[in-house]
Structure 1
Amino acid sequence: MPNILHHGGATGVTGSCHQLVLNGEHSLLVDCGLFQGDDAREDTFEQLKIEFDISTLKALIVTHVHIDHVGRLPYLLAAGFKGPIICSKPSAKLLPLVIEDALKIGFTRNAQLIERFQAQLESQIVSLDYHQWHTVVDDGDIKTRIKLKRAGHILGSCYVDISHQDHTTRQKERWVFSGDLGAPHAPLLPAPQSPHGCDHLVLESTYGHRTHPNRENRRAVLKRAIEQALTNGGTVMVPAFSIGRTQELLYELESIIFEARKSRWKELEIIVDSPLAARFTQVYRELKPYWDDEAQARLKSGRHPLNFANLYTVGDHQEHERTVEYLARTGRPAVVIAASGMCTGGRIMNYLKAMLNDARHQVLFVGYQGAGTPGRAIQEYGPQGGWVELDGERIDIKAGVTSISGYSAHADQTNLLDFVKRMRRWPSTIHLVHGERAARLALKAELEAMYARKGKPVSIRNAS
């Protein structure tokens, strides 16, 4: 019967890559992500090389297009993988943009090489509708089908339902890979619905030890942080992933500005300083049919949640440098959303270096900050009046630092437990992945207690 091999994301929150070995001849790969923060070794290139056996690999299944789930895809193709890359239809539109950016950062800026690689990538993409069964292996001995279901994490995200039949032993098994599950009531996206049931569940545990504030609370925190900057005459710097978090924040900011009666809110500039985020936002607009009912209602009322009057985008690098210098010098109140989400590079770094030591400004974290990243250091030491090293430079943190876990695109402990609880047939084996040790241990304890209350047996693995 099938067994699972982890090539990343088993004991950390990045590098997700899980191989489901169906038998000696066939296997599937779920995600192939990049390592970041403490998960990344100094010998980065060696860590990224695909050194596991791909000769049996029949398909790569992409749960969503965040870089920690797809960033090693170029290395997989370079290793000779020519099989289908299966994803949802929205992900099929977003994936080439992500990989183009990854190629420019980690591989080459040669336009011809990138174009050739992109052509190969697009020839291998197989996009599926949600809830559509798709056969990946049927050779007489085994038949394996997959179905993608909405995960509510970012646009196009899915969890993977795998039905496996072994005709030689007449055994059937159901596997579910959660990918990254979203939180209920997230902007733009419908909440994930649990599957009917499964035998084996591979479950993310990023926030397995925490619960998020509700949406009204987190919107209030967001509003307060911006009010503080407006009062101080400063900029709110928001490190955010180009895809997902940026668009959700724009949606919430449009709502706050629309409802605000104060003129200074009406005049507040919302600046997206990321060409990639701007491109993603455009694709998000094109994928309106995948938005949730609340977002659809806003559109029908004539509002434009991702394209409102106060929204500005920064284009080339010269414009970026002028924007940093202008905001740092004048203290004009503004909200700047820029990548990267964990402050490991990108345009947010120049804002931080220019403004982090000035008390007029605010840093607002709206997503998970991995251990070992500059974002985690600012988050931990900023409220204590500490310092952080950015590009070899020590910078004292005088700006305000606020974290809103409620804007995380990840499910919290309650949501993860509910994902299992709402199945009619609970899994007998749960593999906890994509979480730091404390989160996995806390979720393991809660799951075991939940099973014990129902008198159900369970084996929970990879939690040590």
Structure 2
Amino acid sequence: MDYPSISHHGAIRGVGGSCHQLHLSSVRSLLVDCGLDHDAGRRAACEGTPDFRDPGIAALLVTHVHLDHVGRIPELFAAGFQGPIICSEPSAHLLPLVLEDAFKLGFSCDPERVEQYLRRVRRAIVALPFDRWHDLSVAGAACRVRFRRAGHLLGSAYIECDVGYSAGGRGTRFVFSGDIGASDNPVLIAPHSPRYADVLVLESTYGNRLHEERSTRRQCLEQAIERALADRGTVLIPAFSVGRTQELLFEIEEILYRKSLIQHSSEQLGTPSLLCAPVDWAQLPIILDSPLAVRLTAAYRQLSEFWSGAARQRLAEGRRPLGFRQLIAVDSAAQHRQVVNYLASTGRPAIVIAGNGMCSGGRIVSYLKSMLGDRRHEVIFTGYQAKGTPGAVIQASEGAEGFVMIDLDSAMYEIRAKVMTLGGFSAHADQAGLVEFVLGMERAPQKVVLVHGEAAAKRALAEQLRLRFQARGWQVSVEVPDAVGG
């Protein structure tokens, strides 16, 4: 093996289990992400499983805190890893919350064991500010790293690694994209391309798709809510706890704010506001039913210095986009049962955001069991539903003739509720955004390695990149790895 080099231990044949090993020398390496793959087939095939017992792993670099990028950290610790976990400052706040939840689900709920584990996590975390170099030179291998905003979720970063650099000249620059976000996220600062990369490891989640215009998504969400609530039903929005939940709350708060302005103006003029009928928006409860999402949303509020300028402007205006008056946080299991029973029996209009995003577990399942069979209610999907998940089955029933049955916890339920999918909410850049990220560099990379995408997405993105490189006269190797070696 030549050095420096990369081994890919995950996100090769799909979007799960991101884990890349940057070999600095024959005895020292860095891990970039250590994610969990939710696909049982790929896990059984042991796709490039890294040897976490390797004493040469000097550090773990974390691009962001989604479980498909950090979910195997408990395994890394169990194998004896003693190095630092290096991440951005916002990720340093969010990571213990995410890993606590993962540890309880996958290992133990014993309070003593959980606290012991969290102490170890906190001791290991090294928080780096964005856009500053940090020296990681080890055992004669010169290396420095820098975290740059990726715009995927709060704290997300792409990571620049300079290996073999010196004061008199540069070495080899590796750039790991992590997950690149869309440029018009309402909460986050948009990502900018790196100045250059010798080797770019690039995600390809939506390498074969172009997203709908985000400018219309709030209008579509508002119309969908009005349609559902006109039937005196509940709107159920499955969402993962970090990223999507906070983005939805931002959009809903904006809708409520504009509705309040319309209502206030109508009252001053002494005229009824037809725009607010049939929904009494001022009294509409927005229910956040996920203990983890509640804690993460509180952390988001504390980290407002990392929000976009437009998001911070809302705070300056005295608004509370992640803590508005109508937002109701449901924490305990007893509260959860009460809310489900109340909404199912009364038909009180409400919006419920609950995990998990693919309906394969979490509190959303209780709502689905109680409400899927009632035409008054509506399920709104704003994110990708993986094949084989309950969310995909429910989503596929949209527009179907007759009624579809679904298996939830080994019991069959009829889907009579309305189902709708809203585009424009993806936290990932589409094909155009990914191509722009690469072409925004000042000079051509030597190699682009496509990971974190299905085969069709990688093929389409590779083809588009090659065409654009050719048009620019750039000589770039575009690779799609299908084995451990990079």
- Report SS of the residue matched to 1:383: coil
How far did residue 377 of structure 1 move? Answer: 2.4
1:370 Cα offset (Å): 2.2
Deviation at 1:368, TM superposition (A): 2.0
How big is each residue's C-alpha offset from its partner over 1:69-109, in whole Å with a ceiling of 9 and x where there is no partner?
Answer: 11100010000000010001111111111111111100001
Which of 407, 412, 431 in structure 1 is aligned with 2:425? 407
RMSD across aligned C-alpha pairs, in angstroms? 1.9
Cα distance, 1:40 vs structure 2: 5.4
Counterpart of 2:322 in structure 1 is 306
Match of 2:339 among 293, 300, 323: 323
> Which residue in 2 is equivalent to 1:210?
209
Question: Residue 17 of structure 1 aligns with which residue?
Answer: 19
Aligned-pair CA distance for 1:130: 0.2
Give aligned pairs, total: 459
**3-state SS of paired residue (1:364):** strand
Q: Which stretch shows the higher mean deviation, 147-156 or 382-391?
A: 382-391
Which residue does the alignment assign to 2:136?
A: 136
Partner SS, residue 174 of structure 1: strand
Q: Quick check: 1:342 aligned with 2:358?
A: yes
Given candidates 274, 277, 286, the residue that maps to 2:302 is 286
Deviations 1:42-85 (A, max 9, x none): x69x8898645522111100111111111100010000000010
Name the CA shift for 1:377/1:224 in 2 (closer, same or farther; >3 Å): same
1:398-427 C-alpha deviation (Å, 9 max, x unpaired):
222222231111111111111001111222
TM-score, length of structure 1 as denominator length: 0.95
Describe the superposition over 1:139-169 as per-residue Cα deviations: whole angstroms up to 9, x where unpaired. Answer: 33x21110000111111111101111178xx
Partner of residue 172, structure 1: 171
- 1:409-448 residue pairs with structure 2 within 5 A? 409-448=427-466
1:383 aligns with 2:403: no
Give the secondary structure class of the aligned counterpart of 2:93: helix
| Paired AA for residue 231 in structure 2 | N
The 1:162–1:48 alpha-carbon spacing in structure 2 relative to 1, beyond 3 Å, is closer
Structure 2: distance between partners of 1:24 and 1:301:
56
The Cα of 1:171 is off from its aligned counterpart by: 7.5
Residue in 1 that maps onto 2:222: 223
Change (3 A) 1:387 1:38: farther
User: CA–CA distance in 2 between the matches of 1:365 and 1:437?
Assistant: 24
Q: Is the 8 A contact 1:136 1:146 kept in 2?
A: yes
User: What's 2:383 paired with?
Assistant: 367
Q: Which amino acid aligns with 1:394?
A: M
- Match among 352, 369, 372 for residue 368 of structure 2: 352
Aligned-pair CA distance for 1:463 = 6.1
Measured in 2, the distance between the counterparts of 1:305 and 1:214 equals 22
**Residue of structure 1 aligned with 2:288, choices 263, 267, 272:** 272
For structure 2, the residue ranges without an aligned partner over 5 or more in a row are 263-275
Is contact 1:50-1:75 (8 Å) kept?
no
CA distance in structure 2 between the partners assigned to 1:354 and 1:106 by the alignment? 27
Map residues 95-110 of structure 1 onto 2, 5 A cutoff.
95-110=95-110
Amino acid in structure 1 at the alignment position of 2:15: V
Structure 1 residues 457 and 47: alpha-carbon distance in aligned structure 2, compared to 1, 3 A threshold: closer
